[in-house]
Structure 1
Amino acid sequence: MPFTFKSNAERIGPLKEPDGSLVKAATDHVQIWRKLEELVKLNKLKSIGVSNFNADQLKRLYELAEIKPAVNQIELHAACQQDEMQVLCKELGIYITGYSPLGSPGVNTHFQNKYGFTKDIPNLISHPIVEDLTKKYNRTPAQILLRFLVQMDVTVIPKSSNPTRIKENFQIFDFLLLPEDVEQLKSIDQGESGRILDFLFFKGVENHTEYPFTVPKSSG
């Protein structure tokens, strides 16, 4: 993770200011990476990577790393396709793992219960383009959205506690989306405004020097 906070010694969790803001900690990516490299050399780790790094952070670390990052795990779905990051990672030989590939339809419940925080999120499962393609291919919306990303050479990590849906999520390797349908799904992209997990539920996170995202105008 590109940003860190000081921990609360009295209980598990971050230390907070009186106004509820998290107490930021200095974050030296290269210093942290050197420790991870040491663990690889000691055969404690097989491979190492990063998560939620933006392009500048990733390029800076890559240039100074002895052992190059194997992966950048990022939010990636039809509404937040991160084309520039995909191109950069391919150029550097870094795999992308896409989390929230279905758009995290239940995330607002989690936000509200844990942080008292809600935000507008894209509804990909019920998007008209996705619904049309489910009928065309006789597949579930999740299968269409996952197949779309897999065809872009993205490793996807969907989350579900439903055994039937977990099984369905694996059944995406016996069909291909036609080029014109891939283009339709690409048109759903909302760029940065389609990002769901911007971590603004951590009060004050956007003020961290290594906060990796662009803050929406309505948020700061």
Structure 2
Amino acid sequence: MSAVPFVQLNDGNRMPALGLGTCASSGSEIEKAVKDAIDVGYRHIDTAWAYENEHSIGKAVRSKIAEGAVKRSDMFIVTKLWNTFHEPHQVERACRQSLNNLQLDYIDLYLIHFPFGYAYKNDHEQWPRNPDGTRALSNVDFIDTWTAMERLVELGWVKSIGVSNFNSEQIARLLTVAKIRPVVNQVECSPTISQKKLTKFCKDRDIAITGFCPLGHPSPASKTPAFMYDGRVEAIADKYNKTPAQIGLRYLHELGVTPIPKSVRKQRMIENMSIFDFTLTNEEKQFMDSFNTGQRLVAMYDARKSPYWPYGIKF
């Protein structure tokens, strides 16, 4: 298994080019998964306040540091500002909550989870609704949220800041005012939604792309996503003694994307990390391009009425 390379970020920091996604896992399950991930070589762990697992992830990381398995400086911990905390005066408090949950002295990368905000009701209500049942949105401009994010770097609470689920127009607008440039845009990215145009747009502006849901939600019953169950992808995988999932992750890596596949199974984590010892041919990459339908798993339609909903343009 080859070592995971690094992505050089525009602020001088480095990010491992593969990470562990942790959405929809919590408690002892994710605590064990993070420990296993560190044991097999993962150093990039992605979470979010909204996942409600920061405490368990922090506990696992601190345990491995206490064991001497890793140093804090070896780890790259990512978490995210949730939609209900977009008001500038809420940002420091929300970040402090994440730091308290993780019980770490700093966060390596802190992201604005989505460009649109929700109305703040209280610290525990993630998905606020209006009396008629629709999503309660806020009108906070993400530019104002970003200014408060920059303050976190000045305080030393976070090493790097970035965004998630921003489209190209939103990135361009942010760059016109940002004193600290975003280092990353984390977006849904897989062979099904390859994000080649957005990746190029961001790379041209020295912003790295992290890809969540890089393997979609594989379903053997429905044989989706298509690339995971395609005979020609299986043949490519056989050629390299790999799996279709490894071919998908390698394809994203060669597009310049840092994938963060989620798994709680140790053997699967090892497989997901074993993508740096082979290279796809141009023909194989072109074939993988054919699976790009642009179909999203995450579109947040409840926020369509927000002026900052990011999915109304091509990229």
Structure 2 match to 1:116? none
Structure 1 residue 39 corresponds to structure 2 residue 152: yes
Query: Offset at 1:158?
Result: 0.4
Amino acid at match of 2:234: E
Offset from partner CA, 1:95-141 (integer Å, 9 cap, x none): 000111111326xxxxxxxxxxxxxx734321344223222222111
Number of residue pairs the alignment of both structures matches: 196
Write the distance in 2 (CA, Å) between the matches of 1:12 and 1:167.
36
Query: Offset at 1:11?
Result: 5.0
Query: Offset at 1:153?
Result: 1.8
> Which residue among 307, 310, 314 is the counterpart of 1:209?
307
Write the distance in 1 (CA, Å) between the matches of 2:186 and 2:213.
11
Write the distance in 1 (CA, Å) between the matches of 2:226 and 2:132.
33
Query: Offset at 1:92?
Result: 0.3
Contact 2:164 2:187 in 1 (8 A): yes
> Which residue among 242, 258, 274 is the counterpart of 1:171?
274
TM-score w.r.t. length of structure 1: 0.83
Q: Per the alignment, in what secondary structure is the counterpart of residue 58 of structure 1? A: helix
| Aligned sequence identity (%) | 38
> Which residue among 14, 27, 36 is the counterpart of 2:140?
27
Which has the higher mean CA deviation after the structures are superposed, 6-15 or 129-138? 6-15
Structure 1 residue 74 corresponds to structure 2 residue 175: no
Judged with a 3 Å threshold, the aligned counterparts in structure 2 of structure 1 residues 13 and 90 are, in CA distance, closer, same or farther, namely closer
Q: Per the alignment, in what secondary structure is the counterpart of residue 217 of structure 2? A: coil
More strand by share: 2
What are the within-5 Å matches in structure 2 for residues 146-161 of structure 1? 146-161=249-264
Offset from partner CA, 1:68-119 (integer Å, 9 cap, x none): 000000011101011211111111000000111111326xxxxxxxxxxxxx
Q: Per the alignment, in what secondary structure is the counterpart of residue 97 of structure 1? A: strand
> Which residue among 227, 234, 241 is the counterpart of 1:131?
234
Write the distance in 1 (CA, Å) between the matches of 2:217 and 2:238.
22
Contact 2:184 2:209 in 1 (8 A): yes
TM-score w.r.t. length of structure 2: 0.59
Structure 1 match to 2:40? none
Unaligned runs of 5+ in 2: 1-113
Query: Offset at 1:10?
Result: 8.8
Greater than 4 Å deviation, 4+ residue runs = none
Structure 1 match to 2:125? 12
Unaligned runs of 5+ in 1: 107-120, 216-220
Which has the higher mean CA deviation after the structures are superposed, 93-102 or 1-10? 1-10
Contact 2:117 2:139 in 1 (8 A): yes
For the aligned residue pairs, the C-alpha RMSD in angstroms reads 1.8
What are the within-5 Å matches in structure 2 for residues 43-122 of structure 1? 43-105=156-218, 122=225
Contact 2:186 2:210 in 1 (8 A): yes
Write the distance in 2 (CA, Å) between the matches of 1:205 and 1:63.
25
Write the distance in 2 (CA, Å) between the matches of 1:48 and 1:78.
27
Contact 2:196 2:255 in 1 (8 A): no
Query: Offset at 1:162?
Result: 1.2
Query: Offset at 1:169?
Result: 0.6
Query: Offset at 1:39?
Result: 1.4
Structure 1 match to 2:296? 195
Write the distance in 2 (CA, Å) between the matches of 1:50 and 1:195.
18
Judged with a 3 Å threshold, the aligned counterparts in structure 2 of structure 1 residues 129 and 63 are, in CA distance, closer, same or farther, namely farther
Judged with a 3 Å threshold, the aligned counterparts in structure 2 of structure 1 residues 28 and 10 are, in CA distance, closer, same or farther, namely closer
Contact 1:205 1:211 in 2 (8 A): yes
